[in-house]
Amino acid sequence: MSIGRRLIDLARAELNALLERAAESDDEDGEGEGEGGRRGGARGRTSVESMTDDELLAEVERRRRVRESAAERRAAREEADRMREATAEAERAARGPRADARSGAGPRRRPNTGTSDDLARAYAALEVKPGSDFETVRRAYRNLMRKYHPDHHTASPEKQRAANELAQKLTDAYKLLERRLR
């Protein structure tokens, strides 16, 4: 068998796989291969072996046109996105840096300091009164971490796991209060 014939057979096998996938997706979309479906008539065949060379070339050309039109649509969408972004950038520049700072659209945003419920839970986790100053919070955090640090509970895996969870909860509470109080 010649190399050219092998290449043609390989191309037919690849196209056959593509046609089968297309037929499966058509079936999933509700488009059958009957007369009312998109693939009626000569295109109703899914086997490349049953296609003539002219039909095969026509199918390859049709798929090339579909790919090109999809690429053109994608390029048009990307161009529209670039134009929208350029317009938005021009509007931001026209407003000036002061407008961005007032609206919060600039790069410098305040970190989330949590809701009052989150703060109350954080104070409770660190076992301090709500409204305590940062030094009191810091001392409480350090004392609790000395007591519940996972490295102090290596004898039992269950205790170490519980200590890990508690240490994480204490650290999260401390970080929240640190952001709020500093």
CA atoms within a 13 Å half-sphere pointing along the CA-CB vector of 40:
6
The verdict on 121 and 175 lying in the same domain is: yes
Of 31, 50, 69, the residue at which a domain comes to its end is: 50
Q: How far apart are CA 126 and CA 181, in angstroms?
A: 14
The verdict on 137 and 148 lying in the same domain is: yes
* Residue 179: partners with Cβ closer than 8 Å, 6 or more residues away: 111, 112, 113, 114
The verdict on 102 and 121 lying in the same domain is: no
Task: Report helix, strand or coil for 151.
Answer: helix
Range(s) of the domain holding residue 42: 1-50
The verdict on 143 and 127 lying in the same domain is: yes
Q: What is the pLDDT of residue 28?
A: 62
The verdict on 5 and 56 lying in the same domain is: no
Q: What is the pLDDT of residue 100?
A: 47
* Residue 121: partners with Cβ closer than 8 Å, 6 or more residues away: 173
Q: What is the pLDDT of residue 52?
A: 83
CATH classification at residue 138: 1.10.287.110
Cα 91 to Cα 80, 98, 102: the distances in Å are 16, 13, 15
Cα 43 to Cα 35, 46, 50, 115: the distances in Å are 11, 8, 11, 63
Q: What is the largest CA-CA distance in the chain?
A: 88
**pLDDT block averages, 10 residues each, the chain of length 182:** 81 83 68 44 57 84 90 89 84 67 52 75 92 93 92 88 92 93 85
What is the domain count for the chain? 3
The verdict on 61 and 81 lying in the same domain is: yes
The verdict on 123 and 175 lying in the same domain is: yes
Angle at 166 between CA 115 and CA 158, to 5 degrees: 150
Q: What is the pLDDT of residue 177?
A: 92
Of 66, 83, 109, the residue at which a domain comes to its end is: 109
Contact 12, 49 (CB under 8 A): yes
The verdict on 63 and 101 lying in the same domain is: yes
Of 65, 92, 109, the residue at which a domain comes to its end is: 109
40 torsion bin: left (phi>0), alpha (psi -120 to 50), beta (else): beta
Q: How far apart are CA 148 and CA 163, in angstroms?
A: 6
The verdict on 163 and 122 lying in the same domain is: yes
